Amino acid sequence: MRILLLTGIWPPDVGGPATHGPDIARFLLDRGHGVRVVTMADGEPTERPCRVDTVSRRLPFPLRYGLVAANGARAARGADVVYATATYAAAAIASTAARRPLVAKLVSDPAYERARRYGLARGSLESFQERGGRRAELLKRLRTRALRRARTIVVPSAYLADIATGWGLDRGRIVVLTNPAPVLEAVEPEPLPAGTFVFAGRLTAQKDLGVAIDAVAALPGARLVLVGDGPERDRLERHAAAAGVNGRVSFVGARPRPDVIRHLAGATAALLPSAWENLPHAAVEALAAGTPVVATAVGGVPEIVHDGENGLLVEPGSPELLAAAMRRVLEEDGLRDRLAAAAAPSVAGISRDAVYGRLEELLVEAAL
C-alpha cells in the first residue's frame, strides 16, 4: 500500500505530531508499505525515512497552505490513501482532487487552536464548543467540513472523541487509539540534580508554563528543566528572571527524541501544567521511562495519568496546587518510589506495535 502523510510539523520541529510523523513512517516502511510526506518547514528536515517534500513557512499563509494542498494533491495521485495529522482542509482538498480516501489523526480542536492564535477565544476548550462570535463560528464550520471528508478519524482519547462527536461528525467514523508507549531499552538517565522536574514539549500558551515557574518559586528545593522550544520561550525566560528562579529553571531547547527520553528518565517527575490538552505524548513517554507524572487534570490526561497511582493530578491554572503536588513528590515518604514503580506497567498495554498495527489496519480498510 502507498500512503501519503500530510502533516504541519516535522523534525527539527518539536511536539507530539513531529514525533509521530517519522515514527509511523518508519513503522509502515518496515511493514512493506510505501510512504511519502508533504509538510511545512522552516528549513531542511532532520529526519528523512522516506521522501519528504516541504513548503516553506516563510511564505504568506494563504500561499503556503495552498501549496500544501496542491503538492498534496499531486502526491496523492500516486498513493492509495491519504493520512493527515494536521492541515485538515488541505488534506480534504488534496484527497478530493486525487479521489483518494482520507484518514485523519485529530489531536486537538483545530478551530480552537486557530481561534486562540487570532485572539478570538480565551476560555477553555469546553467553553469554546458553545456558540461564539461570527469569526469563531466560521472556523468551526471550516474545521467540521474538512473532517467530514475523512473516512476515519483517529483520536488519542475518549475525551476528544466526545468533543468531536459534538461537532456533528459521525461517531461511527471516530476511533480512539491512544498514543503509543515508546520502546525503551537500556535508557541511560540524564544526570540531573535531586528534586528536578522535567517538562518536555513545545513552549506554547497551551502548556501554561508560567504556572510551573511560579510553583518552582514557591519550592526552594525544586528545579525545573524545560526541554523544547516554541513561541513562549522569550516570555517564559523573562518570567523566570522576574520570579528569581533563574538558577533553578533551565531552558535547554529542542533536543533529539533520545535526549528527551533521557531527561524524562532522569527526572524526579515529569511536569505537565497544561491549561488544556488532549493526550500528550510526553506523559506516555515519561511513564514508559519509569518516571511519575505531575499534571493538570485536563482533557484526556486522566485517561493515562491516574492520581495516586502513577502520578498526581491537580486542577489547572493554580501555582499553589501544582506546588503542593510537587512538594508531596519531594517530601512524602515513599510516594515517589511507589508512583515510579507503577509508571512503566501502566502503559505496557499500549505498545508501539499494537497501536501502530491497529492504525495500519485502519489505513488498509480505508484504501479498500
Q: What is the pLDDT of residues 28-76, one digit of tens each?
A: 999 999 999 999 999 999 999 999 999 999 999 999 999 999 999 999 9
Quick one: average pLDDT of 190-211? 96
CATH code of the domain in which 267 resides: 3.40.50.2000
Residues 219 and 334 in one domain: yes
Judge whether 190 lies within some domain: no
Q: Tell me the per-residue pLDDT of 210-232, one tens digit each, with 9 for 90 and over.
A: 999 999 999 999 999 999 999 99
Sheet architecture: strand order including 34-41:
51-56, 34-41, 2-7, 81-84, 102-105, 152-155, 174-176
Judge whether 186 lies within some domain: no
Q: What is the three-class DSSP state of 272? A: strand
Identify the CA nearest to 154 among candidates 108, 111, 222, 197.
108
Residues 234 and 170 in one domain: no
Any bridge partners for residue 223, and if so which?
196
Quick one: average pLDDT of 324-340? 98
Quick one: average pLDDT of 199-214? 96
Residues 12 and 70 in one domain: yes
C-alpha cell at 99: 479521489
Judge whether 245 lies within some domain: yes
Judge whether 98 lies within some domain: yes
Task: For residue 246, name the pLDDT band (cuts at 50, 70, 90).
Answer: confident
Structurally, the chain folds into a number of domains equal to: 2
Task: For residue 303, name the pLDDT band (cuts at 50, 70, 90).
Answer: very high
Residues 13 and 137 in one domain: yes
Q: Note the pLDDT of residue 302.
A: 97
Q: Tell me the per-residue pLDDT of 140-151, one tens digit each, with 9 for 90 and over.
A: 999 999 999 999
Residues 316 and 361 in one domain: no
Judge whether 256 lies within some domain: yes
Residues 13 and 139 in one domain: yes
Quick one: average pLDDT of 276-287? 92
Q: Is residue 185's pLDDT more than 80? A: no
Residues 7 and 135 in one domain: yes
Residues 151 and 51 in one domain: yes
Residues 123 and 86 in one domain: yes
Q: Note the pLDDT of residue 257.
A: 86
Positive/negative CA dihedral, 270, 276, 280, 284: positive
Quick one: average pLDDT of 192-205? 96
Residues 97 and 9 in one domain: yes
Average pLDDT taken over every residue of the chain: 95
Judge whether 128 lies within some domain: yes
Chain center to CA of 304: 14
Residues 160 and 31 in one domain: yes
Identify the domain containing residue 228 by its residue range.
196-346
Residues 41 and 147 in one domain: yes
Judge whether 280 lies within some domain: yes
Judge whether 191 lies within some domain: no
CA dist., res. 109 & res. 95, Å (int): 21
